[in-house]
Each structure stands twice: as structure tokens, then as C-alpha cells.
């Protein structure tokens, strides 16, 4: 196989991984624990992320839906800041998918 064919196949594999649902959750966990500033972990308890913040509601108990997380992160709620300016739509979608999937919200 020539080098270009190898690169093309590697590219396709990366693409299919990128669109899979599990990858979205993995990406969302990164947003939750690292990419969001301030980090979601400072304020929220979420067992899967190993966080024990107590400023905001415990997400394991709240079990928010994907839409609920998306709204909260985009617009902010109460003292929770809006992340619309600092996170991309894709990052917000990923973190919403992640939180709702690990807590059993839909
Ligand atoms: C500075 C602290 C802080 C940070 C950082 C923060 N939150 Fe919050 N969050 C809160 C507080 C406080 C509330 C409750 C607001 C209220 O109900 O008045 C809340 C509420 C929520 C809710 C519930 C919304 C609803 O519908 O009731 C979700 C879901 C949520 N946060 C997810 C996140 C995610 C995901 C991140 C990271 C991108 C994040 N939060 C970052 C403090 C924070």
C-alpha cells in the first residue's frame, strides 16, 4: 500500500471515531474537567468526573437532560456563568451529552 492510501485510511478512521457517541462523551468529560473556565468541577459534584464541588447542584442527583445542560451552560443560571463566549457549540453539545449520559438523564 502506498503512503497516500495509508493516510487516507487513517483519516477515515479518525473521522468515524470523531462522530461516534462515546467519543462525544469523552470529549464532554474533557470540557467538564479541563476546558471550561471556570471548571464545572469547582462548582458541581459529578461522580464520573471525580468532582465534589458544592456551589451548584449535585449533578448525580439532579440528573439533568441533555437540553437542560445545554441551556444552563450556554446562558448561565443564577450565579453559574454563561459559557457561550468561551466554549464552542460543539464543546457545549459534548458536555451536555456527557453529563446527561453519565447521570442517566436523557
Ligand atoms: C461558579 C460555579 C459554577 C460553575 C463553574 C458551573 N456551574 Fe453549573 N450551576 C451553578 C449553580 C450555582 C447552579 C444553580 C443555579 C440556580 O438554580 O440558580 C448551576 C446549575 C447547573 C445545572 C442545572 C440547570 C438547571 O436546569 O437547573 C447544570 C446542568 C449545570 N449547572 C451544569 C454545569 C456545567 C456542565 C458546567 C461547566 C461547563 C457548570 N455547570 C459550571 C454553578 C456553577
Domains of the chain in start order, with CATH, are 21-103 (1.10.760.10)
Q: Which region among 20-24, 66-70, 99-103 has the lowest average model confidence (pLDDT)? A: 20-24
Which residue's CA is the closest to the ligand 1 atom numbered 19? 56
Q: Buried b vs exposed e over 56-70: b needs ≥16 C-beta within 10 Å? A: bbbbeebebebebbb
1 C-alpha vs ligand 1 centroid, how far in Å?
51
Sorting pLDDT into bands at 50, 70 and 90, what band is 18? low
This prediction has a pTM of 0.86
56 C-alpha vs ligand 1 centroid, how far in Å?
5
6 C-alpha vs ligand 1 centroid, how far in Å?
44
Percent of the chain with pLDDT over 90: 75
Q: Within the chain, what is the greatest distance between any pair of CA atoms? A: 58
User: So what's the pLDDT on residue 24?
Assistant: 93
pLDDT (mean) for 32-58? 98
Which residue's CA is the closest to the ligand 1 atom numbered 20? 56
Q: How far apart are CA 80 and CA 55, in angstroms?
A: 9
Please state, rounded to an integer, the average pLDDT across all residues of the chain: 91
Amino acid at each position: 500500500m502506498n503512503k497516500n492510501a495509508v493516510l487516507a485510511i487513517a483519516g477515515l478512521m479518525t473521522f468515524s471515531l470523531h462522530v461516534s457517541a462515546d467519543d462525544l462523551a469523552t470529549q464532554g468529560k474533557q470540557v467538564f474537567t479541563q476546558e471550561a473556565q471556570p471548571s464545572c468541577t469547582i462548582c458541581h459534584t459529578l461522580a464520573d468526573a471525580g468532582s465534589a464541588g458544592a456551589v451548584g447542584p449535585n449533578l448525580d442527583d439532579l440528573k439533568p437532560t441533555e437540553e437542560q445542560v445545554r441551556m444552563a451552560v450556554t446562558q448561565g443560571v443564577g450565579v453559574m456563568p454563561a459559557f457561550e463566549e468561551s466554549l464552542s457549540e460543539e464543546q457545549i453539545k459534548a458536555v451536555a451529552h456527557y453529563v446527561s449520559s453519565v447521570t442517566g438523564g436523557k
